[in-house]
Amino acid sequence: MPKICVLLAPGFEEIEAITIIDVLRRGEIDVTTLSIAGTGTERLDVRGAHGIVVRADETLSAGAAKPWEMVILPGGMPGSMHLRDDPEVQALIRRQNERGAKLGAICAAPIALGAAGVLKGRRATSYPAMEKELVGVTYLNQPVVRDGNVVTSRGIGTSLEFALDIVGDLKSKAASDKLRSAMLVPT
């Protein structure tokens, strides 16, 4: 079973994070949520951009060194800026990329991948207002863009497609298609 983590920063976009976590778990992918809010058990609760509090499985400090098959960054503001500006998140992104492991970011979160230098020379997408921050990127106005080990997506409305694409990549197209059908997601 693939092991991936989803990073939850204060101000994350709740719909994106929960949709991704839910769809991947339905696809029998082992998802661990990591809080970047700090250390210790009291730092597991992370408040999203719209005031919804989600309890993470572990702190980033506890989970950063694990060999994740994929690291996923939900968007939202100011969550995406926290991901971009956090040295531990940036180090994790760089380690993943250096190992050739998979990275995913949606909405404004591709700015964190850009800050880590992993988007230079790649095709990518993001929430439209973030395009100007993705320097050195071939920007595409598509719901989901995959370039090598990196997949990006545009926002809340594309989070199901993003999650299903990840299931297809980590498991199989058949697994993704089965989920799509069961969840009544149009093709």
**pLDDT tens digits along 17-31:** 999 999 999 999 999
Q: Which CATH superfamily is domain 3-182 in?
A: Class I glutamine amidotransferase (GATase) domain (3.40.50.880)
- Reported as a single tens digit per residue, the pLDDT across 104-147 is 999 999 999 999 999 999 999 999 999 999 999 999 999 999 99
Three-state DSSP at 153 gives: strand
CB neighbour burial string for 31-48, b if at least 16 within 10 angstroms, e if fewer: bbbbbbbeeeeeebebbb
Q: Is the pLDDT of residue 76 over 80?
A: yes
For the question of residue 107 being annotated catalytic, the response is: yes
Percent of the chain residues past pLDDT 90, beyond the cut: 93
Q: Is the pLDDT of residue 89 over 90?
A: yes
In one letter, which amino acid is 57? D
In the set 92, 107, 115, 119, the catalytic residue is 107
38 pLDDT band, cuts 50/70/90, is low
